[in-house]
């Protein structure tokens, strides 16, 4: 097993996936979309549940689009390391579950906070800020996408306003 290829593929899947997800899906969703704000930012968060309960199967497309930025890199990174792709997808899914630990009693252990800070990884505490304020703390996995994402949000809002004026 080539460990460099394995961790390289896993790391790239997370980095590239979060990049495309943030700038190509998440930020545009907050400006032009509908379902991310009303479903993902609600306490239940499940697109499947929302689609069934409100008879709006179209919401499922939105749920799929949020995962697609990660899935789209599978064919390319598969050549680098299939196990790495598997590891990357597993870590991405585990991070989804972890970053939505919004229980009032949850605190990320201090040692883990230190590691996340050093590696710019989004903690549940940081992701909660995004769920609460919607225009802050972007970057689902990596916190360094946060600042450029706020800039991108402003640009897209300007674009939307301009297109509405015409
Ligand atoms: Zn979230
Ligand atoms: Zn959001």
Task: For the chain, give every domain's residue range.
Answer: 3-165
The rounded Å distance from CA 127 to ligand 2 centre is: 9
pTM: 0.93
Q: How far apart are CA 165 and CA 147, in angstroms?
A: 28
The rounded Å distance from CA 26 to ligand 2 centre is: 6
Residue 77: is it exposed, middle or buried by C-beta count within 10 angstroms (0-12/13-18/19+)? buried
Q: How far apart are CA 166 and CA 164, in angstroms?
A: 5
Structure tokens at 48: 């499947």
The rounded Å distance from CA 133 to ligand 2 centre is: 9
Identify the pLDDT of residue 116: 98
The rounded Å distance from CA 70 to ligand 1 centre is: 15
The rounded Å distance from CA 74 to ligand 2 centre is: 24
Ligand closest to 29 (CA) is: 2
Q: How far apart are CA 101 and CA 108, in angstroms?
A: 9
Identify the pLDDT of residue 70: 97
What HEC string does 38-103 produce? Answer: HHHCCCCCCHHHHHHHCCCCHHHHHHHHHHHHHHCCHHHHHHHCHHHHHHHHHHHHHHHHHHCCCC
pLDDT in tens, 53-84: 989 888 888 889 999 999 999 999 999 999 99
The rounded Å distance from CA 134 to ligand 2 centre is: 6
- Among residues 107, 81, 96, the alpha carbon closest in space to that of 21 is found at 96
CB 81 within 8 A of CB 9: yes
The rounded Å distance from CA 1 to ligand 1 centre is: 34
Q: To the nearest whole percent, how much of the chain has pLDDT over 70?
A: 100
């Amino acid at each position: 097993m080539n460990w460099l290829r394995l961790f390289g593929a896993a790391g790239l899947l997370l980095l590239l996936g979060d990049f495309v997800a943030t700038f190509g899906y998440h930020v545009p969703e907050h400006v032009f979309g509908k379902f991310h704000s009303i479903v993902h930012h609600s306490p239940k968060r499940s697109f499947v549940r929302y689609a069934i309960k409100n008879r709006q199967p179209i919401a499922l497309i939105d749920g799929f689009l949020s995962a697609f930025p990660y899935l789209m890199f599978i064919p390319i990174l598969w050549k680098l390391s299939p196990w790495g792709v598997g590891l990357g997808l597993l870590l991405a899914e585990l991070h989804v579950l972890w970053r939505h630990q919004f229980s009032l009693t949850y605190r990320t252990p201090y040692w883990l906070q230190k590691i996340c800070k050093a590696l710019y990884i989004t903690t549940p505490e940081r992701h909660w800020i995004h769920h609460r304020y919607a225009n802050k703390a972007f970057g689902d996995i990596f916190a360094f996408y946060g600042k450029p994402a706020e800039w991108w949000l402003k640009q897209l809002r300007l674009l939307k306003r301009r297109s509405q004026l015409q």
